[in-house]
Each structure stands twice: as structure tokens, then as C-alpha cells.
Amino acid sequence: MSAAPETLAIRPPAVWLRFARALWRTATANAAMMTGIALFLAVVIVAIGAPVFAEVDPLDQDLLARLVPPSPGHWLGTDAFGRDIWARIAYGARISLVIGLVAVGIAMVIGSALGILSGYMGGWVDQAISQATNILLAFPSLILGLMVVAFLGPSVPNLIAAISLATIPQFIRVSRAPTIALRERDFIQACRALGFSPLRIMVRHILPNIWPEILVMGSLWLATAIRVEASLAFIGLGVKPPTPTWGGMIREGFEQILNSVYLALFPSLAILVVVLALNMIGDGLRDALDPRLKESKR
């Protein structure tokens, strides 16, 4: 009585492979995303290899060569103390990237965890987390960061804490909504019926289905985090001088703006490049993601 099963369909490639291909296709078809990746990689390489790329120490003062314009000895000129701007930008990239990456990394982990928890558990857990999120979202991230740093004092860990706190609500929001949609899907109900613990369902079944969205959000908020860090440094709440930071350099450059425009110009350009690159990557990621999502919904 039992019939032979249907024959197996021709096998398309695995999900991750299709995703990687879609990414690559989008990246190659999308010149903006390629440019973004290239620019960001360049900044990362400069930051990591700062001692190689800049022969001069960023703290070395050369009082005989103050406010020098770009020249063969000092590619980007020097500042009011005769410190090499290129060296300071290269080393400053380390501070910007470390603070940005660590802060956004922490926010991504905590934020998505809370967002998934909130969306999956519902009820009072959701109420509490959502209310807290709404309150945090009411403050612009810069103001929030400002308050935290003003309260704790400026230091790298405190800056990271401040920027994380400002970014966490964004990740809560971006992970909660898709979790709610997934919670009603049959395969999640099947997991519950199989007696899987809520933790397992959230980590093993919901997270893998929403991480691409979180990743897009991460790249966009990394840009914001770097901007916020620079803004805090600009108003004097960043890492203490003489450690080079892009925001601090712009601030110093502003004081000398009548004597030399390069001091403010080059670190500003550095920030512009990084923010632009990350936004290009984020947009590209989102484009790569959209058709894939449509396909899996079929």
C-alpha cells in the first residue's frame, strides 16, 4: 500500500554558500560596496601597521617644525607641537577602531540577547525591556554617551561603556521584531513541542535566522560609534591627550585653524572615509540580504 517516495530534487548549494555567493555578487556588482570594503580594509591595515606606515612616533615633538604644511618629510604636515599628523592619524585610527569595534561588539551581543529574549518571552519581560529601550532611544546617542562619560570620567573603558549603552537599544530593536515574527513560525512551535528549552530555541533556532539583519545593523552603527567617539573627544570628553585621537586632533586643529587648515582637515577626512566606507558596506549588505530573505520565505 505504501508508495515509493518522490524522487529527490536536484540539489542546490547550501544556504551559507548561497549567502556568500549573493554577498560576493552584490559586492562585485555594487561598486559602492567594493569601495567601502577596500577603504575600510585600508584603514584597518593602517591602524594595525601604524609603526610601519609612520616612521615617526606620534608623540615626538619637533619644535623646529611646527605647523608645517604637507611636505616630503611630513606627508600631512605637523601640528602646533611639531608632531607628525600622518603618524597621529595612523595611531588615532587604533583608538577609533578599538573603541568602535569593542563598543559595538558588546552592544551587539547584549542588545541582540535582550531583543531576542524580549521578543521570544513576551509578557512582562518584553514590557520591561521594551520600556527601557524606549527610554534609552529617547536620548540621542551622543547625549547619552556624554552623560555617561561625564559621570564616570573619560577613559577607554568608560568610552566603550558609554557608546555601548547608547547603541544597545538599536540592537534590541533590530532583533526583537524578527524574533516576534519567527516565534509564530511552525518550526519554532515544533521546537517547543519537542521540549527544547527556551534558551536553546533562542540561541540555536532564532539567532541563526536573524543574525544577517544584526550584522547589517552592526556595520551601520560602527560608523555611528566612531563618529560619537570623535565627537566626545572633540568636546574634551575623549581619551586624554597626548594620546592621539581623531576627535582630539580636530579639536586641536580648530584652535589653530587660522594658522593651518591641515590640522583639522586630515583627521576630519579620516572620519569621513571610515563612516562612508561603513555605510557603503552596510547598504551593500542589506541589498545582498534582501533577495535572500525573499527566497527563503517562499
Partner 1 sequence: MTTAQPLLQVFGVSKTFDVPRRIGAPPGKVHALDDVTLDIAIGETLGLVGESGCGKSTAGRAFLRLIEPDTGEVWFDGENLTTAIPSRMRTLRKRLQIIFQDPYSSLNPRQKVADMLAEVLSVHKVCPRAEFPRRIAQLLDEVGLPASAADRFPHEFSGGQRQRLGIARALSVGPDLIVADEAVSALDVSIQAQILDLLRRLKAERNLSYLFITHDLGVVRYFCQRAAVMYLGRIVETGPVKDLLDEPLHPYTRMLRAASPVPNPVEARKTVQVTGEVPSPLNPPTGCHFHPRCPLAKDICKQARPTVTEMGGGRAVACHLYG
Partner 2 sequence: MTDAPVLAVRGLSTQFRIGGAWRAATRNIAFDLYENQTIALVGESGCGKSITCQTILGLLPAAVARTEGSIVYQGRELVGLSDAEMETVRGKEIAMIFQEPMTALNPVMTVGEQIAEAIRVHRRCTKAEAKAEAIAFMDRVRIPAAAQRYNDYPHQFSGGMRQRIVIAMAMACKPKVLLADEPTTALDVTIQAQILAELRDLCANFNMSMVFITHSLGVVAAIADRVAVMYAGEIVELASVEELFAAPQHPYTRALFQAIPRVDETAENLQAIPGQVPPITAFPEGCRFAPRCPMRMEKCAGRPPRLAAADPASPHAVACFLHHDLALEEAAE
Please give the residue ranges that form the binding site for partner 2 (CB under 8 A): 1-4, 6-7
Q: Which does 12 bind (CB under 5 to 8 A by kind): partner 2, partner 1, none?
A: partner 1
- Cβ at position 82, least distance to partner 1 in Å: 57
Q: Which does 94 bind (CB under 5 to 8 A by kind): partner 2, partner 1, none?
A: none
Going by the DSSP 8-state scheme, the letter that residue 204 receives in this structure is I
- Say how far residue 134 (Cα) sits from the centre of its chain: 21
User: Please, which residue, 15 or 150, has the CB nearer to partner 1?
Assistant: 15
- Cβ at position 18, least distance to partner 2 in Å: 17
Q: Which does 199 bind (CB under 5 to 8 A by kind): partner 2, partner 1, none?
A: none
Structural contact between residues 33 and 280, judged by C-beta atoms closer than 8 angstroms? yes
Q: E strand or H helix at 271, and its extent?
A: helix 262-297
- Pinpoint the alpha helices (H) of the chain: 15-29, 31-48, 50-53, 85-121, 123-138, 141-152, 156-183, 186-193, 198-200, 207-234, 246-255, 262-297
User: Please, which residue, 6 or 55, has the CB nearer to partner 2?
Assistant: 6
User: Please, which residue, 5 or 72, has the CB nearer to partner 1?
Assistant: 5
Going by the DSSP 8-state scheme, the letter that residue 244 receives in this structure is -
- Cβ at position 118, least distance to partner 1 in Å: 18
Q: Specify the residue for cell string 604637507.
A: 70
Q: Which does 195 bind (CB under 5 to 8 A by kind): partner 2, partner 1, none?
A: partner 1
Q: Which does 296 bind (CB under 5 to 8 A by kind): partner 1, partner 2, none?
A: partner 1
Distance CA 41, CA 26 (A): 18
Q: Which does 45 bind (CB under 5 to 8 A by kind): partner 2, partner 1, none?
A: none
- Cβ at position 130, least distance to partner 1 in Å: 15
Residues forming the site for partner 1 (CB under 8 A): 1-6, 8-9, 11-12, 14-15, 185-187, 189-190, 192-197, 200, 204-205, 208-209, 296, 298
Distance CA 214, CA 196 (A): 24
User: Please, which residue, 5 or 123, has the CB nearer to partner 2?
Assistant: 5
Q: Which does 55 bind (CB under 5 to 8 A by kind): partner 2, partner 1, none?
A: none
Structural contact between residues 281 and 37, judged by C-beta atoms closer than 8 angstroms? yes
Structural contact between residues 92 and 245, judged by C-beta atoms closer than 8 angstroms? yes
- Cβ at position 191, least distance to partner 1 in Å: 8
Structural contact between residues 243 and 156, judged by C-beta atoms closer than 8 angstroms? no
- Cβ at position 210, least distance to partner 1 in Å: 10
Phi, psi dihedrals of residue 156, rounded to the nearest 5°: -60, -50
Distance CA 42, CA 276 (A): 13
User: Please, which residue, 1 or 194, has the CB nearer to partner 2?
Assistant: 1
Distance CA 195, CA 191 (A): 7
Q: What's the half-sphere exposure (Cβ side, CA atoms, 13 Å) at 85?
A: 30
User: Please, which residue, 48 or 215, has the CB nearer to partner 1?
Assistant: 215
User: Please, which residue, 2 or 55, has the CB nearer to partner 2?
Assistant: 2
Q: Specify the residue for cell string 595612523.
A: 90
Q: Which does 294 bind (CB under 5 to 8 A by kind): partner 1, partner 2, none?
A: none
Neighbours of 258 (CB within 10 A): 6
User: Please, which residue, 7 or 298, has the CB nearer to partner 2?
Assistant: 7
